[in-house]
Structure 1
Protein backbone atom coordinates (compact mmCIF):
# COMPACT_ATOMS: atom_id res chain seq x y z
CA UNK A 1 0.00 0.00 0.00
CA UNK A 2 1.30 3.44 -0.94
CA UNK A 3 2.06 5.53 2.17
CA UNK A 4 -0.44 8.30 2.79
CA UNK A 5 1.01 11.79 2.60
CA UNK A 6 -0.32 14.90 4.31
CA UNK A 7 -2.78 17.23 2.63
CA UNK A 8 -0.74 20.35 1.87
CA UNK A 9 -2.49 23.69 2.42
CA UNK A 10 -0.78 26.59 0.68
CA UNK A 11 -1.42 29.73 2.70
CA UNK A 12 -0.76 33.06 1.00
CA UNK A 13 -1.84 36.67 0.86
CA UNK A 14 -0.52 40.11 0.09
CA UNK A 15 1.12 42.46 2.58
CA UNK A 16 -1.11 43.56 5.45
CA UNK A 17 -3.83 40.97 4.85
CA UNK A 18 -3.39 39.22 8.20
CA UNK A 19 -1.70 36.04 7.02
CA UNK A 20 0.50 35.68 10.11
CA UNK A 21 -2.52 35.72 12.41
CA UNK A 22 -4.28 33.15 10.24
CA UNK A 23 -1.18 30.94 10.37
CA UNK A 24 -1.23 31.15 14.17
CA UNK A 25 -4.85 29.99 14.14
CA UNK A 26 -3.88 26.92 12.12
CA UNK A 27 -1.14 26.18 14.65
CA UNK A 28 -3.64 26.57 17.47
CA UNK A 29 -5.83 23.96 15.77
CA UNK A 30 -2.94 21.51 15.64
CA UNK A 31 -1.61 21.86 12.09
CA UNK A 32 2.15 22.21 11.59
CA UNK A 33 2.98 25.45 9.76
CA UNK A 34 6.07 26.16 7.66
CA UNK A 35 6.81 29.90 7.77
CA UNK A 36 8.71 30.91 4.63
CA UNK A 37 9.50 34.39 5.99
CA UNK A 38 11.03 32.85 9.12
CA UNK A 39 13.04 30.49 6.91
CA UNK A 40 14.43 33.47 4.97
CA UNK A 41 15.46 35.10 8.24
CA UNK A 42 17.15 31.86 9.32
CA UNK A 43 19.26 31.42 6.19
CA UNK A 44 20.20 35.12 6.26
CA UNK A 45 20.70 35.37 10.03
CA UNK A 46 23.84 34.80 12.13
CA UNK A 47 25.63 31.74 10.73
CA UNK A 48 23.00 31.37 8.01
CA UNK A 49 23.85 29.05 5.12
CA UNK A 50 23.18 31.76 2.53
CA UNK A 51 25.53 34.35 4.03
CA UNK A 52 28.76 33.45 2.18
CA UNK A 53 27.05 33.55 -1.21
CA UNK A 54 25.23 36.79 -0.39
CA UNK A 55 28.47 38.44 0.73
CA UNK A 56 30.22 37.28 -2.44
CA UNK A 57 27.45 38.67 -4.62
CA UNK A 58 26.86 41.84 -2.60
CA UNK A 59 30.07 42.74 -0.73
CA UNK A 60 29.64 44.55 2.56
CA UNK A 61 26.01 43.54 3.12
CA UNK A 62 26.64 40.90 5.80
CA UNK A 63 28.34 40.71 9.17
CA UNK A 64 28.39 38.77 12.47
CA UNK A 65 24.69 39.51 12.94
CA UNK A 66 23.86 38.16 9.47
CA UNK A 67 22.50 40.22 6.62
CA UNK A 68 22.36 43.98 7.07
CA UNK A 69 18.84 44.42 5.74
CA UNK A 70 19.28 48.13 5.01
CA UNK A 71 22.46 47.60 2.99
CA UNK A 72 21.14 44.58 1.13
CA UNK A 73 17.88 46.37 0.44
CA UNK A 74 19.77 49.31 -1.01
CA UNK A 75 21.78 46.93 -3.20
CA UNK A 76 18.73 45.30 -4.78
CA UNK A 77 16.06 48.02 -4.58
CA UNK A 78 14.91 48.99 -8.06
CA UNK A 79 17.38 46.56 -9.64
CA UNK A 80 15.57 43.51 -11.06
CA UNK A 81 18.83 41.79 -12.06
CA UNK A 82 20.27 42.12 -8.54
CA UNK A 83 17.01 40.92 -7.05
CA UNK A 84 17.04 37.82 -9.26
CA UNK A 85 20.64 37.16 -8.21
CA UNK A 86 19.63 37.33 -4.56
CA UNK A 87 16.62 35.07 -5.12
CA UNK A 88 18.85 32.45 -6.78
CA UNK A 89 20.86 32.35 -3.56
CA UNK A 90 18.05 32.47 -0.99
CA UNK A 91 15.31 30.38 -2.62
CA UNK A 92 17.25 27.08 -2.77
CA UNK A 93 18.26 27.43 0.88
CA UNK A 94 14.67 28.11 1.93
CA UNK A 95 13.53 25.23 -0.28
CA UNK A 96 15.80 22.86 1.63
CA UNK A 97 14.27 23.96 4.94
CA UNK A 98 10.81 23.34 3.48
CA UNK A 99 11.83 19.83 2.39
CA UNK A 100 13.06 19.10 5.92
CA UNK A 101 9.75 20.37 7.31
CA UNK A 102 7.80 18.09 4.97
CA UNK A 103 9.91 15.07 5.91
CA UNK A 104 9.50 15.81 9.61
CA UNK A 105 5.71 15.97 9.32
CA UNK A 106 5.15 13.35 6.61
CA UNK A 107 3.04 11.29 9.01
CA UNK A 108 0.56 14.09 9.71
CA UNK A 109 -2.87 14.34 8.10
CA UNK A 110 -2.33 17.94 6.98
CA UNK A 111 0.33 20.63 6.98
CA UNK A 112 0.36 24.33 6.11
CA UNK A 113 2.93 26.10 3.95
CA UNK A 114 2.83 29.83 4.74
CA UNK A 115 4.38 31.33 1.59
CA UNK A 116 3.80 35.01 0.75
CA UNK A 117 4.66 34.61 -2.96
CA UNK A 118 3.04 31.21 -3.43
CA UNK A 119 1.11 32.30 -6.52
CA UNK A 120 3.81 34.55 -7.95
CA UNK A 121 6.21 31.61 -8.22
CA UNK A 122 5.91 27.86 -8.75
CA UNK A 123 5.02 26.96 -5.17
CA UNK A 124 1.31 26.58 -5.90
CA UNK A 125 2.08 23.47 -7.95
CA UNK A 126 3.19 21.60 -4.82
CA UNK A 127 0.06 22.16 -2.69
CA UNK A 128 -3.35 20.53 -2.61
CA UNK A 129 -5.36 23.58 -1.58
CA UNK A 130 -4.69 27.28 -2.07
CA UNK A 131 -5.97 29.45 0.80
CA UNK A 132 -5.74 33.19 0.16
CA UNK A 133 -5.93 35.60 3.09
CA UNK A 134 -7.68 38.79 2.03
CA UNK A 135 -9.15 42.03 3.34
CA UNK A 136 -10.62 45.18 1.78
CA UNK A 137 -7.98 47.57 0.43
CA UNK A 138 -8.69 50.30 2.98
CA UNK A 139 -8.11 47.79 5.79
CA UNK A 140 -4.92 46.52 4.19
CA UNK A 141 -3.58 50.05 3.67
CA UNK A 142 -4.32 51.12 7.24
CA UNK A 143 -2.58 48.04 8.64
CA UNK A 144 0.53 48.47 6.51
CA UNK A 145 0.94 52.22 7.01
CA UNK A 146 0.70 51.70 10.78
CA UNK A 147 3.95 49.72 10.69
CA UNK A 148 7.07 51.52 11.94
CA UNK A 149 9.08 53.03 9.09
CA UNK A 150 6.47 52.28 6.45
CA UNK A 151 5.60 54.94 3.89
CA UNK A 152 3.07 55.10 1.08
CA UNK A 153 5.93 54.83 -1.42
CA UNK A 154 7.26 51.65 0.18
CA UNK A 155 3.76 50.21 0.39
CA UNK A 156 3.04 50.79 -3.28
CA UNK A 157 6.45 49.42 -4.25
CA UNK A 158 5.67 46.19 -2.41
CA UNK A 159 2.29 45.97 -4.14
CA UNK A 160 3.98 46.32 -7.53
CA UNK A 161 5.89 43.09 -6.87
CA UNK A 162 2.88 41.14 -5.62
CA UNK A 163 0.03 39.68 -7.62
CA UNK A 164 -3.11 41.83 -7.23
CA UNK A 165 -5.41 40.64 -4.47
CA UNK A 166 -8.36 40.33 -6.86
CA UNK A 167 -6.43 37.85 -9.01
CA UNK A 168 -5.28 35.88 -5.97
CA UNK A 169 -8.90 35.56 -4.87
CA UNK A 170 -9.83 34.19 -8.29
CA UNK A 171 -7.06 31.58 -8.12
CA UNK A 172 -7.89 30.55 -4.55
CA UNK A 173 -9.62 27.33 -3.59
CA UNK A 174 -10.79 29.18 -0.49
CA UNK A 175 -10.59 32.83 0.60
CA UNK A 176 -10.02 33.62 4.29
CA UNK A 177 -11.48 37.05 5.06
CA UNK A 178 -9.72 39.03 7.79
CA UNK A 179 -11.38 42.40 7.44
CA UNK A 180 -14.90 41.43 8.40
CA UNK A 181 -14.54 40.28 11.96
CA UNK A 182 -12.44 37.73 13.84
CA UNK A 183 -15.29 35.26 14.16
CA UNK A 184 -15.66 34.89 10.39
CA UNK A 185 -11.90 34.45 10.06
CA UNK A 186 -11.75 31.75 12.72
CA UNK A 187 -14.76 29.88 11.36
CA UNK A 188 -13.17 29.73 7.92
CA UNK A 189 -9.83 28.52 9.28
CA UNK A 190 -11.56 25.93 11.45
CA UNK A 191 -13.59 24.66 8.49
CA UNK A 192 -10.43 24.23 6.41
CA UNK A 193 -8.69 22.42 9.27
CA UNK A 194 -11.67 20.13 9.85
CA UNK A 195 -11.92 19.20 6.19
CA UNK A 196 -8.17 18.60 5.91
CA UNK A 197 -7.87 16.55 9.07
CA UNK A 198 -11.05 14.60 8.41
CA UNK A 199 -12.04 14.92 12.03
CA UNK A 200 -14.03 17.21 14.29
CA UNK A 201 -12.29 20.21 15.80
CA UNK A 202 -14.20 21.91 18.59
Structure 2
Protein backbone atom coordinates (compact mmCIF):
# COMPACT_ATOMS: atom_id res chain seq x y z
CA UNK A 1 0.00 0.00 0.00
CA UNK A 2 1.17 3.50 -0.88
CA UNK A 3 -0.09 6.13 1.57
CA UNK A 4 -0.32 9.59 0.03
CA UNK A 5 -1.18 12.83 1.80
CA UNK A 6 -2.95 15.34 -0.45
CA UNK A 7 -3.30 18.91 0.72
CA UNK A 8 -3.63 22.50 -0.43
CA UNK A 9 -4.93 25.82 0.79
CA UNK A 10 -8.61 26.67 0.60
CA UNK A 11 -9.46 27.59 -2.99
CA UNK A 12 -6.34 25.92 -4.40
CA UNK A 13 -8.35 23.22 -6.18
CA UNK A 14 -7.51 20.21 -4.06
CA UNK A 15 -11.01 18.75 -4.40
CA UNK A 16 -10.71 18.64 -8.18
CA UNK A 17 -7.33 16.90 -7.92
CA UNK A 18 -8.85 14.42 -5.49
CA UNK A 19 -11.70 13.73 -7.93
CA UNK A 20 -9.28 13.12 -10.79
CA UNK A 21 -7.11 10.78 -8.73
CA UNK A 22 -10.18 8.79 -7.69
CA UNK A 23 -11.07 8.46 -11.36
CA UNK A 24 -7.63 7.00 -12.08
CA UNK A 25 -8.10 4.37 -9.38
CA UNK A 26 -6.90 5.89 -6.12
CA UNK A 27 -8.74 5.04 -2.91
CA UNK A 28 -9.54 8.51 -1.62
CA UNK A 29 -10.07 9.08 2.08
CA UNK A 30 -11.68 12.53 2.27
CA UNK A 31 -11.11 14.14 5.66
CA UNK A 32 -13.66 16.90 4.99
CA UNK A 33 -16.38 14.40 4.12
CA UNK A 34 -15.57 12.32 7.18
CA UNK A 35 -15.58 15.47 9.32
CA UNK A 36 -19.18 16.03 8.23
CA UNK A 37 -20.14 12.42 8.90
CA UNK A 38 -18.80 12.36 12.47
CA UNK A 39 -21.04 15.27 13.49
CA UNK A 40 -24.25 14.07 11.89
CA UNK A 41 -27.37 14.00 14.10
CA UNK A 42 -27.22 11.29 16.74
CA UNK A 43 -23.43 11.00 16.75
CA UNK A 44 -21.21 11.46 19.80
CA UNK A 45 -19.31 14.04 17.76
CA UNK A 46 -22.33 16.32 17.39
CA UNK A 47 -23.15 15.94 21.07
CA UNK A 48 -19.61 17.02 21.96
CA UNK A 49 -19.78 20.05 19.65
CA UNK A 50 -23.10 21.15 21.18
CA UNK A 51 -21.68 20.67 24.68
CA UNK A 52 -18.75 22.94 23.77
CA UNK A 53 -20.55 25.63 21.76
CA UNK A 54 -24.20 25.48 22.79
CA UNK A 55 -27.40 24.63 20.99
CA UNK A 56 -27.22 27.82 18.94
CA UNK A 57 -24.95 25.93 16.51
CA UNK A 58 -27.85 23.63 15.59
CA UNK A 59 -30.44 24.28 12.89
CA UNK A 60 -34.15 23.95 13.60
CA UNK A 61 -33.91 20.41 12.22
CA UNK A 62 -31.19 19.46 14.69
CA UNK A 63 -28.31 19.35 12.23
CA UNK A 64 -25.08 21.27 12.64
CA UNK A 65 -25.35 24.86 11.39
CA UNK A 66 -21.97 24.98 9.66
CA UNK A 67 -22.02 28.64 8.66
CA UNK A 68 -22.93 29.62 12.22
CA UNK A 69 -20.22 27.42 13.75
CA UNK A 70 -17.71 28.65 11.17
CA UNK A 71 -18.42 32.27 12.03
CA UNK A 72 -17.68 31.45 15.68
CA UNK A 73 -14.50 29.41 15.37
CA UNK A 74 -12.79 31.26 12.53
CA UNK A 75 -13.00 34.48 14.53
CA UNK A 76 -11.45 32.93 17.65
CA UNK A 77 -8.34 30.72 17.50
CA UNK A 78 -9.06 29.20 20.93
CA UNK A 79 -12.53 28.11 19.85
CA UNK A 80 -11.12 26.70 16.63
CA UNK A 81 -8.68 24.62 18.67
CA UNK A 82 -11.58 23.39 20.80
CA UNK A 83 -13.51 22.30 17.71
CA UNK A 84 -10.45 20.61 16.24
CA UNK A 85 -9.83 18.73 19.49
CA UNK A 86 -13.30 17.23 19.14
CA UNK A 87 -13.40 16.48 15.44
CA UNK A 88 -9.83 15.52 14.55
CA UNK A 89 -9.59 12.35 16.69
CA UNK A 90 -12.91 11.13 15.27
CA UNK A 91 -11.76 11.81 11.71
CA UNK A 92 -8.44 10.07 12.37
CA UNK A 93 -10.13 6.95 13.68
CA UNK A 94 -12.52 6.72 10.74
CA UNK A 95 -9.72 7.39 8.24
CA UNK A 96 -7.71 4.53 9.72
CA UNK A 97 -10.71 2.21 9.31
CA UNK A 98 -11.09 3.12 5.64
CA UNK A 99 -7.37 2.71 4.99
CA UNK A 100 -7.36 -0.69 6.65
CA UNK A 101 -10.18 -1.80 4.34
CA UNK A 102 -8.16 -0.98 1.20
CA UNK A 103 -6.19 -3.69 -0.55
CA UNK A 104 -2.51 -4.27 0.09
CA UNK A 105 -1.65 -2.99 -3.41
CA UNK A 106 -3.89 0.10 -3.19
CA UNK A 107 -2.81 3.69 -3.59
CA UNK A 108 -4.61 5.40 -0.71
CA UNK A 109 -4.87 9.18 -1.03
CA UNK A 110 -5.72 10.96 2.21
CA UNK A 111 -7.35 14.27 1.24
CA UNK A 112 -6.39 16.37 4.30
CA UNK A 113 -6.90 20.15 4.21
CA UNK A 114 -4.94 20.76 7.45
CA UNK A 115 -2.12 18.27 6.86
CA UNK A 116 0.57 20.93 7.18
CA UNK A 117 -1.02 22.74 10.11
CA UNK A 118 -1.32 19.56 12.15
CA UNK A 119 2.15 18.21 11.34
CA UNK A 120 0.79 15.09 9.64
CA UNK A 121 3.29 14.80 6.78
CA UNK A 122 5.32 12.02 8.50
CA UNK A 123 2.23 9.78 8.47
CA UNK A 124 2.43 9.37 4.69
CA UNK A 125 4.86 7.83 2.22
CA UNK A 126 4.75 11.10 0.30
CA UNK A 127 2.84 14.37 0.25
CA UNK A 128 1.23 15.98 -2.80
CA UNK A 129 0.54 19.71 -2.49
CA UNK A 130 -1.92 21.50 -4.77
CA UNK A 131 -0.43 24.97 -5.07
CA UNK A 132 -1.96 28.32 -5.99
CA UNK A 133 -1.06 31.88 -5.13
CA UNK A 134 -3.03 33.62 -2.36
CA UNK A 135 -4.39 36.01 -4.99
CA UNK A 136 -5.80 33.10 -6.99
CA UNK A 137 -7.22 31.47 -3.86
CA UNK A 138 -8.98 34.70 -2.89
CA UNK A 139 -10.39 35.18 -6.39
CA UNK A 140 -11.81 31.65 -6.45
CA UNK A 141 -13.34 31.92 -3.00
CA UNK A 142 -15.14 35.16 -3.79
CA UNK A 143 -16.12 34.36 -7.39
CA UNK A 144 -16.83 30.63 -7.24
CA UNK A 145 -17.94 30.10 -3.63
CA UNK A 146 -19.59 33.47 -3.12
CA UNK A 147 -17.63 34.33 0.01
CA UNK A 148 -17.25 37.90 1.11
CA UNK A 149 -13.62 38.98 0.77
CA UNK A 150 -13.29 39.49 4.54
CA UNK A 151 -14.54 35.96 5.24
CA UNK A 152 -12.27 34.48 2.57
CA UNK A 153 -9.22 36.23 4.00
CA UNK A 154 -10.14 35.07 7.51
CA UNK A 155 -10.39 31.45 6.34
CA UNK A 156 -7.06 31.69 4.56
CA UNK A 157 -5.43 33.26 7.63
CA UNK A 158 -6.27 30.19 9.75
CA UNK A 159 -4.31 27.94 7.41
CA UNK A 160 -0.61 27.37 6.83
CA UNK A 161 1.17 29.73 4.49
CA UNK A 162 1.95 28.72 0.94
CA UNK A 163 5.62 28.41 1.87
CA UNK A 164 4.85 26.12 4.81
CA UNK A 165 2.83 23.78 2.61
CA UNK A 166 5.49 23.65 -0.09
CA UNK A 167 8.10 22.82 2.55
CA UNK A 168 6.42 19.47 3.27
CA UNK A 169 5.69 18.62 -0.38
CA UNK A 170 7.14 15.60 -2.14
CA UNK A 171 5.29 16.47 -5.35
CA UNK A 172 3.65 19.79 -6.30
CA UNK A 173 0.71 20.36 -8.64
CA UNK A 174 0.56 23.94 -9.91
CA UNK A 175 -3.11 24.93 -10.07
CA UNK A 176 -2.67 28.65 -10.50
CA UNK A 177 -3.92 28.50 -14.08
CA UNK A 178 -7.06 27.38 -15.91
CA UNK A 179 -8.77 24.06 -15.21
CA UNK A 180 -7.67 22.53 -18.51
CA UNK A 181 -4.03 22.86 -17.42
CA UNK A 182 -4.69 20.77 -14.31
CA UNK A 183 -5.53 17.33 -15.67
CA UNK A 184 -2.22 16.65 -17.46
CA UNK A 185 -0.33 17.47 -14.26
CA UNK A 186 -2.52 15.19 -12.18
CA UNK A 187 -2.06 12.40 -14.71
CA UNK A 188 1.70 12.83 -14.45
CA UNK A 189 1.51 12.64 -10.64
CA UNK A 190 -0.66 9.52 -10.88
CA UNK A 191 1.95 7.86 -13.10
CA UNK A 192 4.55 8.72 -10.46
CA UNK A 193 2.40 7.25 -7.70
CA UNK A 194 1.86 4.07 -9.72
CA UNK A 195 5.61 3.76 -10.28
CA UNK A 196 6.38 4.28 -6.59
CA UNK A 197 3.73 1.75 -5.59
CA UNK A 198 5.37 -0.74 -7.94
CA UNK A 199 8.79 0.02 -6.49
CA UNK A 200 10.14 2.07 -9.42
CA UNK A 201 10.32 5.67 -10.51
CA UNK A 202 9.69 7.08 -13.99
CA UNK A 203 12.57 9.12 -15.38
CA UNK A 204 12.47 12.80 -14.75
CA UNK A 205 10.12 12.72 -11.77
CA UNK A 206 10.87 12.91 -8.10
* TM-score, normalisation: structure 2: 0.85
Match of 1:26 among 6, 12, 21: 21
Map of 1:30-179 to 2, 5 A cutoff? 30-60=25-55, 61-62=57-58, 64-179=61-176
SS in 1 for 2:127: strand
What is residue 3 of structure 1 aligned with on the other side?
Answer: none
**Which region of structure 1 is more displaced relative to structure 2, 101-110 or 81-90?**
101-110
Unaligned runs of 5+ in 1: 1-5
Distance in 2, matches of 1:94 and 1:191, equals 29
Gaps of 5+ in 2: 201-206
Counterpart CA distance in 2 for 1:198 and 1:90 is 35
Q: How many aligned residue pairs are there?
A: 195
CA RMSD of aligned residues (A): 2.1
- CA, structure 1 residues 74+183, in 2 after alignment: closer, same or farther (shift >3 Å)? closer
TM-score, reference length from structure 1? 0.86
Q: 1:65 Cα shift?
A: 4.2
Q: Mean alpha-carbon deviation: is it higher for 117-126 or for 186-195?
A: 186-195
Runs (4+) of structure 1 exceeding 4 A deviation are: none
